[in-house]
């Protein structure tokens, strides 16, 4: 069964740090192009202060592999540290089989 993970980031400004282009390319090659992550979308609130990131993975094992990937973890830590210092709060609102 597929697995859905939704993260919501909320901040005092629209200055959200994103992952590097290199890691985005790495994710595309290793997860999107291989079918481990089948869908990814980002939506923003009208004022730009809330962003919702939705990923659909082939299954829970693929999601777990993605979250445990050292390249992604290192870049996520870098990005999250910058976002947190800018007052941006991250919350996982959905993490379930669909």
pLDDT at residue 73, rounded to an integer: 98
Residue indicated by tokens 């979250």: 67
Q: What is the pLDDT of residue 37?
A: 98
pLDDT of residue 28: 98
Mean pLDDT taken over the chain: 97
Q: Render the burial of 34-56: b for 16+ CB within 10 Å, e for the rest.
A: eebbeeeeeeeeeeeeebbebbb
pTM above 0.85, yes or no: yes
Which ranges of the chain have pLDDT less than 70? none
- In the chain, helix, strand, coil percent, each to 5? 40, 35, 30
| pLDDT for position 23 | 98
- In the chain, the DSSP E strands lie at 3-10, 37-44, 50-57, 89-97
pLDDT at 14: 83
């Amino acid at each position: 069964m597929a697995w859905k993970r939704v993260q919501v980031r909320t901040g005092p400004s629209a200055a959200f740090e994103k992952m590097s282009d290199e890691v985005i390319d790495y994710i595309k090659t290793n997860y999107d192009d291989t079918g481990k992550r089948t869908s990814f979308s980002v939506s923003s609130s009208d004022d730009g202060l809330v962003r919702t990131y939705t990923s659909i993975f082939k299954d829970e094992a693929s999601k777990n592999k993605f979250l445990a990937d050292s390249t992604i973890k290192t870049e996520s830590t870098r990005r999250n540290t910058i976002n947190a210092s800018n007052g941006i709060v991250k919350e996982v609102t959905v993490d379930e089989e669909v």
